[in-house]
Amino acid sequence: MFDIMFGRRALALAVFIHFLSPLPALAEQLGANLQQLLDAMEQSHPALGAASASRAAAAAEVEIAGSLADPQFEASFEDIDRQFGSPLPESLGSIFYKVDQTFPLGGKRTLRREIAKAGVAEAATERDQMLLDLTAEMKIAFARHYLAIHAAHTIEVEGNALRDLAEIAKERYAQGLGRQQENIEAEAELATLDGARAEATRDQAIAIGRINSLIGRAVDAPLAPPVALPAVPDAGKLNVEDLVALAEARNPALAARNAAVEGATASRDLADRNWYPDLTLGVSVVDEDRDLTGYEARIGFNIPIQWGLRHAEQGKAKAKLAEARARASTARIELMNQVQEAVQNLRAASAREAAMRTRQLPLLQEAVQAAQRAYAVDQADLADAIGATRRLKQAEIEHIGMLFEQQTLLAELERLVGGSL
């Protein structure tokens, strides 16, 4: 019986190790591959579509901002004689057909384009930031799906071990070597696994629902089991300064702040250029008695004498620029702190996971084997064997939580630096 129990245990451990190792890619099965899910999300998520439309609308503003206003057409009727004793006209003297066009001077059209381009850059970063946020959500949900299946498998392994103990208890009782209570204790411990199994099933259902919602499917649509978790880089080799530099170059939120500074700078320059007048050119054609007899040409400009208004516009633009620069500096400092904190958190989580995987779990597995051997030869109580098995299961579930924490922290760090590491 002991050999049979050990054989089953070895088989279960072999399956467990095989489960942890990456499996061949199953790209045709939706859910097995993370990149496949990310591609589906980017193509179908409505929030990304809305952000793309917003960026297109902002791009159209560049053309609008740099365009001239429509010309002004006017027709004037002059030299009208009225009928004697009546207000009605007797004859029409001349008709002037006029067209006027205003031209902003001082490069104001160019500056308006620059302001609109800054708006395009901000709109583009909005979509990029949304994609990063959704990518992080997908990575976390994918990890949760994978580890929920992993947890269910761990519970099944423990259940097999407990069933082995229950078989030994029955055989010992039949031989008059054990107590009936031992078999009851083994069955009772098996019953406690139902709650853990229900939690794993819940976590898997939540993960599947979240993944499906991110790719626009029904929340209960089936998904293939994930093939493998994304690799976690060696946290000890992550250089904070390099990651901060990478974040400064790729983080969309910081890029939005920088674009706001560019727009505010152009707005300040435009407020200065508003002291330049706008030039208006016009031409008229003279119609006398339905005969084009001549033309007129006009030139004019507005007089910027509202000094209080101009000074107020300049003061407002300078204050907005100072605000944009301060917000950009604040965002840069916050980003640097967030990256540094994320790296430290990932390092600590990786250290905890490595200690559990390389030290604690092997020791607990040895303890389970020793307790089962001792019980099989009547050198230990069943409670000792059950307790060792329970502690191993708890440690394995805790290890699964550590793996999930690692994946969550990695997703957050990649969100901060603007992409995968």
Q: Which residue has the higher pLDDT, 136 or 195?
A: 136
pLDDT of residue 304: 86
Distance CA 385, CA 317 (A): 76
Confidence band, pLDDT 50/70/90 cuts, at residue 62: confident
Distance CA 223, CA 201 (A): 14
The answer to whether 232 and 286 are in contact (CB under 8 A) is no
Torsion, CA 355, CA 358, CA 361, CA 364, rounded to 10: -100
Mean pLDDT over 191-214 rounds to: 90
Angle at 401 between CA 398 and CA 402, to 5 degrees: 90
Provide DSSP, 386-398: HHHHHHHHHHHHH
Distance CA 225, CA 119 (A): 43
Rounded to 5 degrees, φ, ψ at 420 are -65, 150
pLDDT of residue 156: 87
Encoding tokens for residue 243? 């990651």
pLDDT of residue 177: 64
Q: What percent of the chain has pLDDT over 90?
A: 52
The answer to whether 279 and 291 are in contact (CB under 8 A) is no
Residues 85-132: tens digit of each pLDDT: 667 666 677 888 999 999 999 888 999 999 999 988 888 899 999 999
The answer to whether 280 and 301 are in contact (CB under 8 A) is yes
pLDDT of residue 161: 77
| CA 53 from centre of chain | 18
Confidence band, pLDDT 50/70/90 cuts, at residue 148: very high
The set of residues, in sequence order, having a beta carbon less than 8 Å from that of 176 and lying 6+ positions away, is none
- Of residues 79, 81, 99, 77, the one with CA closest to residue 90: 81
Q: Which residue has the higher pLDDT, 10 or 57?
A: 57
For residue 360, what are the CA distances in angstroms to 15, 148, 183, 363, 368?
20, 21, 29, 5, 12
Q: Does the predicted model carry a pTM greater than 0.85?
A: no
The answer to whether 224 and 29 are in contact (CB under 8 A) is yes
Domains and CATH numbers, the chain: 2-417 (1.20.1600.10)
Torsion, CA 190, CA 191, CA 196, CA 197, rounded to 10: 90
Confidence band, pLDDT 50/70/90 cuts, at residue 306: confident
Residue 3 has pLDDT above 70, yes or no: no
pLDDT of residue 18: 44
The answer to whether 260 and 115 are in contact (CB under 8 A) is no
Residues 158-190: tens digit of each pLDDT: 888 777 777 777 776 666 666 666 667 777 777
The answer to whether 388 and 220 are in contact (CB under 8 A) is no
The answer to whether 382 and 169 are in contact (CB under 8 A) is yes
pLDDT of residue 291: 78
pLDDT of residue 83: 66
Residue 360 has pLDDT above 90, yes or no: yes
Residue 196 identity (one-letter amino acid): A
